[in-house]
Amino acid sequence: MEGVADTVENILTRPLAMPVAEPISEEFEQTLSHFREQQAAIESNVWKILEPEGFSYSSMHEANNFLAQNITAALYLGDLSFLSEEIGWISGLLHNREMESLLLPLYLEAYKKSITQNMDSRNEPILEWLNQLLAAEIM
C-alpha cells in the first residue's frame, strides 16, 4: 500500500494522450456520402420488396434504421467487418416480433438488391460485406 496515493495522484494529474484517429479512406468517404444520399430510396425499395412477405412496417423501419446507422458507423470507422457483430440484433428483432428467423437472409437479400438498384459503383464495400455475410450463413 506504500506509494499508492502517489501513484493515484500521478495518474490523475498527468495529461492523457489522445489516440490519433485515422482519416476515412477516399473510397469509404465516397461510399458513405452516396449511401446517405440514397438511404431513403434504399429503405423504400426494401419495404416494397418485403411487404408481401409479411414484414410489419414497424419491424422494417426499426431494422432499416439500425442497419443504416451501423453501415454509416462502419464506413466512418473504415471497417465494415464491425457490421457482422451487430447483425445478430436484427435477427433478435425478428425473433422478438415472432417472425421466422429465416426472414433475416430474405431481409438482407432485399437490402442488397435495393443497394444495387439505388447506388452506383460506390456501393462495392457494402455489397462485398453483404455478399460475405450471406455466403457465410452466420444468421
Query: Which pLDDT score is estimated for 63?
Result: 85
Give the dihedral sign, CA 74/80/86/90: positive
Break the chain into its structural domains and give their ranges: 24-136
Nearest to residue 72, comparing CAs of 120, 45, 37, 116?
37
Nearest to residue 104, comparing CAs of 134, 127, 82?
134
Query: Which pLDDT score is estimated for 8?
Result: 75
Query: Which pLDDT score is estimated for 43?
Result: 96
> Residue ranges of the chain with pLDDT lower than 50?
139
78 secondary structure, DSSP code: T
In a 10 Å sphere around its CB, with 0-12 CB exposed, 13-18 middle and 19+ buried, how is residue 48 labelled? Answer: exposed
Query: Which pLDDT score is estimated for 89?
Result: 72
